[in-house]
Amino acid sequence: MPELPEVETVKRGLEPVMLGARIEKVEARRPDIRFPLPERFARRLAGRRIVQMKRRAKHLLFELDSGETLIAHLGMSGSFRIESREASRPGNFVHARSKDPKHDHVVFFLDNGFVVTYNDPRRFGYMDLAANGALGDHPRLRGLGAEPLGPEFDAPFLAKLFAGARTPMKAAILDQKRIAGLGNIYVCEALWRAKLLPSRPASDLADLRSRPTRAAKALAPAIRAVLEEAIEAGGSTLRDHRQADGGLGYFQHSFAVYGREGLPCLRPGCRGTIRRAAQAGRSTFWCPVCQR
Ligand SMILES: [Zn+2]
């Protein structure tokens, strides 16, 4: 399942082709993905120029010159594929995942000669259109918490957010209403980096006056760093695969703690062995020696 860094990487991969381009035609090959496509979907997109591309949590936002924004979510298996109408033009990257045309659900024909295809075998992704000014009220975006890469995301912010919260730290920072788009893998990685036990109460991030503790001062930059490093890794994957048959946005990233149950902790000088436990159907990985 794509997490925030992958979605950001997809956005950066699509930008050179889609930003500023005019959509000549859209083919919606079925009336729905996970949810029904909005009314007159293809017609509302045709002829529109993409004037801005953003990401909110794990949503891609394509702002159009019509005053509407196309909202796209990749779900579990969604991907975009970029092809050129002049077939062998260099500089294309083609997705390594499903290329089965029967899962090509939405196809965008751009005025610059590129064709961008949304493929989604499991169809947990979705697309919708909303007025630019009403994006915050959209049912999928409403109530989303802070962007972990946003400028306001720092230790004092974390402290205010979780002062008095009795939930374990891991569950607290996974809560999308508080912090948006942070998934299980990166939460495990950030807690390891900050040397914090996932089971510690989230209230440990704040003192009695809701000021940031040492834990908050370690965690805020750790969250930002694990995401930024993954985005950087994704960016280099994009570059590496641009000439070849590579992946747009899905990449094998090496993790410090996630998926390393039974293996030695990678922190220099730590002799711990990574443990795993299931919490609410998700695996938590941590080092019992250096995470406190
Ligand atoms: Zn350790």
Summarised one tens digit per residue, pLDDT across range 211-270 is 999 999 999 999 999 999 988 887 666 554 443 333 454 555 679 999 999 999 999 999
Q: What is the pLDDT of residue 77?
A: 86
Instruction: Quote the ligand 1 centre to 232 CA distance (angstroms).
Output: 25
Q: What is the pLDDT of residue 134?
A: 95
Q: What is the pLDDT of residue 87?
A: 53
Q: Please compute the mean of the pLDDT values over residues 56-65 and round it to a whole number.
A: 97
Angle at 76 between CA 282 and CA 114, to 5 degrees: 150
Q: What is the pLDDT of residue 242?
A: 42
* 25 is an active site residue: no
210 vs 13 pLDDT, higher one = 210
Query: Which of 30-44, 69-83, 154-168, 194-208 is least confident?
Result: 69-83
* 282 is an active site residue: yes
Q: Please compute the mean of the pLDDT values over residues 179-201 and round it to a whole number.
A: 95
Whether residue 97 has pLDDT greater than 70: no
Whether residue 75 has pLDDT greater than 50: yes
From the candidates 3, 6, 8, 63, give the one annotated as an active-site residue: 3
Q: What is the pLDDT of residue 147?
A: 96
Whether residue 289 has pLDDT greater than 70: yes
190 vs 81 pLDDT, higher one = 190
Q: What is the pLDDT of residue 237?
A: 61
Q: What is the pLDDT of residue 85?
A: 76
Q: How far is CA 208 from CA 14, 154, 159, 165, 243, in A?
A: 46, 18, 10, 12, 55
- 1-5, 35-39, 88-92, 93-97, range with greatest mean pLDDT: 35-39
From the candidates 2, 5, 148, 212, give the one annotated as an active-site residue: 2
Residue 259, token pair as written in the block: 């998926």
Instruction: Indicate the SS3 state at residue 2.
Output: coil
Q: What is the pLDDT of residue 241?
A: 42
Closest-CA residue to 18 (of 117, 114, 147, 105): 114
Instruction: Please name the residue that has the structure tokens 């909005």.
Output: 38
Q: Determine what percent of the chain is predicted with pLDDT higher than 70.
A: 89
Whether residue 95 has pLDDT greater than 50: no
Q: Please compute the mean of the pLDDT values over residues 10-27 and round it to a whole number.
A: 94
Instruction: Quote the ligand 1 centre to 33 CA distance (angstroms).
Output: 43
Instruction: Quote the ligand 1 centre to 152 CA distance (angstroms).
Output: 30
Q: Please compute the mean of the pLDDT values over residues 105-121 and round it to a whole number.
A: 94
DSSP characters for 23-73? EEEEEESSSBSSSBPPTTHHHHHTT-BEEEEEEETTEEEEEETTSEEEEEE
Q: What is the pLDDT of residue 195?
A: 98
- CA 45 vs. chain centroid, Å, equals 24
Q: How far is CA 152 from CA 161, 174, 265, in A?
A: 12, 18, 32
Instruction: Quote the ligand 1 centre to 286 CA distance (angstroms).
Output: 8
Q: pLDDT-based confidence at 90, cuts 50/70/90?
A: very low
241 vs 167 pLDDT, higher one = 167
73 vs 254 pLDDT, higher one = 73
Closest-CA residue to 136 (of 52, 200, 57): 57
From the candidates 58, 170, 178, 193, give the one annotated as an active-site residue: 58
